[in-house]
Each structure stands twice: as C-alpha cells, then as structure tokens.
Amino acid sequence: DAGITQSPRHKVTETGTPVTLRCHQTENHRYMYWYRQDPGHGLRLIHYSYGVKDTDKGEVSDGYSVSRSKTEDFLLTLESATSSQTSVYFCAISGGPGTDTQYFGPGTRLTVL
Amino acid sequence: QKEVEQDPGPLSVPEGAIVSLNCTYSNSAFQYFMWYRQYSRKGPELLMYTYSSGNKEDGRFTAQVDKSSKYISLFIRDSQPSDSATYLCAMSVGNAGNMLTFGGGTRLMVKP
C-alpha cells in the first residue's frame, strides 16, 4: 500500500459522536486525499491537502473537516457522525506535478449506528 | 450524466479468456489515464498508467486509449481466478493537484 497506513481499520460509533480517522504516509508525498466509497457512487473525494496546513474541499465535504500539521499525517474528522456517513474511507497520496497517479491506503470501515 | 462512465458488471468469464474492460468519458481535457484493481475489502492498487492516446502493455495487461472517441480499455489476456476484482478507471487533466476522476468500477469474476 505504498507506505500508507490508516487507523483505525474498523470503527463502530453512534450518531452524534465525533470521529477522527488518521492517515499516515512514509513516502514524503506532497498531496494527500480522503475519499469515501459507497455502492453505486464509486470513490468520491471528501477533502484533499496540497501541503502542511493547506487543505481544500472535494465533492462531498459537508459534515467533514480535515487537518494536516505534518507532511506525513492527514486527519479526517466527522464532527457529529450521522448514519449517512457509514462508508469505507480511503486515504490516498500523490507526488508533485508530472506524477498524476494516486496511491491508496487499506481503508477504514466506519459504521454509524 | 457522469463525467466517466463504466459498466458496473459483474462480468463473468472462464479462466483463460481475454477480458475487455472499458470506460467512456466526456471531458476532452483528460490527458492521463489509469486503471486500478481493487480486491474485496482492500484499497485500490494502481495497475496501469498511460499518457495521451495509444497502447501500453505490461505482462498480461494492455491499456488502450482512444482520445478521439473518448474511450479507454483494459485488456487482460489469459485471465486467472486471481484477476477476480473490481477494476476502476481514473483520469486526470494534468492539474497541479493531481485530481483524479474515477469511473464507478467493473466487477470481474474469473471462474476456474
């Protein structure tokens, strides 16, 4: 998985609770991304980062926030989890311009009851 | 209409068959084209990467891009049960953020 770890790998939580997912990379890549994958919707971009403290919204950012205080770590926070946020979350990384590929982590399976 | 269309399948073939997986797209600005393979309960892994039109071969896999038709294909020769997975196409315009647009994936089953 290209030096990418995600934690936790599985989580069950209750509606209304905050949840933080962590992505850690050892590749020193500049760009990091958070996706969610749902049946019928494929991979959808939630947020991405183009450097430390530099983040931007993706296609489905409502209800999510991110932070990146170090090159290697990208955190995704569900401020108040809802059942619609039950999904599989993938982190991805990418190098600079001219390297138009992304490498994915193993995923976090989140269930919101 | 989605920017990238991909038949969800499932596509079931016997072992040894030649498999053809396809995506169509609407954005003529796409220049970089990728195929990812995703096994059940795993993250997508990069399989093939091509730039602009043409063919690229890697072992049993051939990626083909026809920009004039806005159509890309992945061919798998001598398919094996271990090829059973979901195949996702992805493409990029080559922007600084390396943003990718994904197809929904095609589920392939290769039966022994």
Distances (CA, A) of A111 to A65, A87, B108: 18, 7, 27
Residue B59 CB partners (closer than 8 Å, separation 6+)? none
A64-107 pLDDT, tens digit per residue, is: 999 999 999 999 999 999 999 999 999 999 976 556 688 999 99
How many C-beta neighbours within 10 Å does residue A69 have?
10
Distance in Å, alpha carbon of A105 to nearest chain B alpha carbon:
6
Q: Do B98 and A41 touch (CB under 8 A)?
A: no
pLDDT at A95: 78
Residue B9 CB partners (closer than 8 Å, separation 6+)? B106, B107, B108
How many C-beta neighbours within 10 Å does residue A6 have?
22
Q: What is the rounded (10 degree) CA torsion for A106, A110, B3, B8? A: 80
CB contacts of B32 in chain A (<8 Å) are: 100-101
pLDDT tens, per residue, chain B with 112 residues: 789 999 888 999 999 999 999 999 999 999 999 999 999 999 999 999 998 888 999 999 999 999 999 999 999 999 999 999 999 999 988 776 778 899 999 999 999 9
B24-34 pLDDT, tens digit per residue, is: 999 999 999 99
